[in-house]
Structure 1
Amino acid sequence: MVFDDEKNHFMPLTEYYHYQLGRVSESTSLSYLNALEPFFYWLKTKSLFQGERILWDSSVLAVKSAIKQYLQKELGCKVRDQDSYEKVFLTNKSKKTVNHFLAAIKAFYKAMIKLGLYEHGNPLVNLDLIEQDFEIPGERKGRQRMPKIAGTEEPVNYRKITESYFKIMKDEWIPEVIGDWDLPYKVYNAGEKSNWTLRDEVIIRFLFETGARISEILDLTIGDYRNRMDKHELSAFNKGSFRRRTKFVRISPETLKLLIRYINTERRKSAKNQVKFESLSDNDFIFISQRGDQYKYNAFYNHWHKIISTSGMKLNIHKARHWFVTSRLRGIYETSTSKAEIEDKKKQLIGYMKWRDSETINIYEHLYDEEKYRDIHEQMIQTYTRREKEYLKNKKTNKDVPASKIVSIQDKHFEEEWLNDFYEGME
């Protein structure tokens, strides 16, 4: 039997344990319990959804929110929302029990549904993916795919279509420093070559100018533009804000012109109510499909892939966000005149990005320092190369390098103890 922190019988985990005994070994059942007990205690004491504690038998949306919070706050993961599922990235703070926890909690809700104790669907199962048709064509045109055992076709990676709502990614989450400051213009040029639509041009400009996630951009409404006093700003939801507009994004005057042109021309042709900007409802989505529905991630990704392929680049959509942060951070260091000003501007950037963990910027700074070191190292190598050429030239003419120009570490006297220890360590 399982008891809670107040020594009361906790029936759900007891029932789950005995249900699992008929399906897996006793050691596996116990290990699942060990993975779940901390979660249920956290659920009782720290979880929060719409201002209230989350119960184990709450709605699917509430339980999903709880699991996402637990992965982020207690297990040290980074969770990135996609159109219909969540990507879970392990970090250097992540515990090794993440995969085990997700397997345990998924099995728990499966058991509760089977036993009639949970009246909703399994929060760990992506119903949207299950309902889709995943019939993958074979390599022979017009023929069905050969079975795996035949060995005549490349195996299919089913990771992207697994039923799990939370998918663990293989790579550790590390923000990327994008050192190519011309990256947006290369993408814009590729878009022009691929005959991109005005809609996709505006969206991609939003990506690079605002640092927002693609899901946040595609969810923008006409009202999000109208309710900001500045004409270059739009309200937006943030990941984990449950669609509440808790932040804003800011665009350039050029992008604003393109946005208004898109709404009054290209969007108007596809919309079900073909009216101009002034007559649109606040609830109308800004970006819509050719059928007049909301423009979804999967549809946009197909166009993004076509544009990027045209340029020969391999570029994930989220890298636009990394580029934005990297360029903003570089701008902070280049335009600030004091350490206090740098810290103040960094706080502004953290506030704009709505990072839950302010330490995120430290990771970017660490990688930014690496970039600066590469520049210094490159300059050093260029100096070495130049001096080497001078030395070889002097050698050919039998000119000796003056001894006064040769400096040895041993010839210098260092008063700092730490520096002496440093050189001894190098030896």
Structure 2
Amino acid sequence: MQGALRLVRTSDLLFPEQVVLPDETADLMLTLFLKEATLRASLSRSSVRPYLYKLMPLRAFERDDPVVQREGWSLLGPEAEVRAIIDRYLRSKLACDVKPGKDRLGLEVLFVQATGRSPPGVNDFLAAVGCLYHVLRRCGFYRFKHPLMREDLQQVEQALRDARYAAYVATLNRGPMPPQSGVDPVLPTPRVSSRHFALRGAEWRPIIVSDPLLYPRLRLLAKAAGWRLRELAILELLFQTGARISEVCALTLGDWAASNFLCFALSIDKGSRGERWKRINFDNPAAALLRNYVERERRVLDSQHRGMQEFQAQHRLGRLDPSAPLFLTHAGRAINPN
């Protein structure tokens, strides 16, 4: 692509990572987002880069698209210009159907629906754009209103509450009783769309898998495909413990050492903020698989080439680093669940 952007590391102390344009100059908008998203938008560090990779093609599209260039639109321009660029990007690059319409309350909205030609992650793209402008506005880099959000949302919701109260009084000659009284039914407030772009057909429905042969089949397929011990061990823990993939990948040697490297480990939990609140249990074959992985594959990747004997000795002497990752990448770092 003519206008492709790249993410590079620099010696700049203020912006050690920068998004650069084809002429090797920094793209200030995306570089600022990369640096400030965690602080300004409460975005987790693991989400910043995936969002950034959704935004970089949009930035390149702004520079290269002939219609955008002819109209003089800019992603830093007024809200209408930004929405026009996103509308065109959704149609031409993401192959989405974008149709104007009204939601259940009669408010105007653009309905976005992915087609068979659309790449995955259209919802992630819209979330990334929304997050981008939250960050830019809080940093003072974007001086207009948020282009994707309804600024009158609170006023609309208050008008709905007032209208519902007035209808109640007109019907019963009194106001509604408090919900805890049990006298009147609790009426849900109609949901107001807070965004100018509304994604259709994106509802996630959990599917309960009750096939008792699923796990044995997956294990056989994994071995036939030549999975390494690390992947086999992670698969074993996922099915045996019911833990989330992020929780399994975050396991440390200290977590497993709580059982003397036997059949349970401590684990983070949803909302635990890194604290080891949960205990996950697994059987002897799974523990043996973990020990085999640590002794064979992990030893090679460990900076000091330590195996089970070394870790067990360090644990007995109280010298084991409890934060050392259990599962390592080829670079010797903790594995990323993504």
TM-score (norm 1): 0.36
Higher relative contact order (CA 8 A, sep 6+): 1
Q: Which structure shows the bigger proportion of residues in strand conformation?
A: 2
TM-score (norm 2): 0.45
- Which is greater in Rg? 1
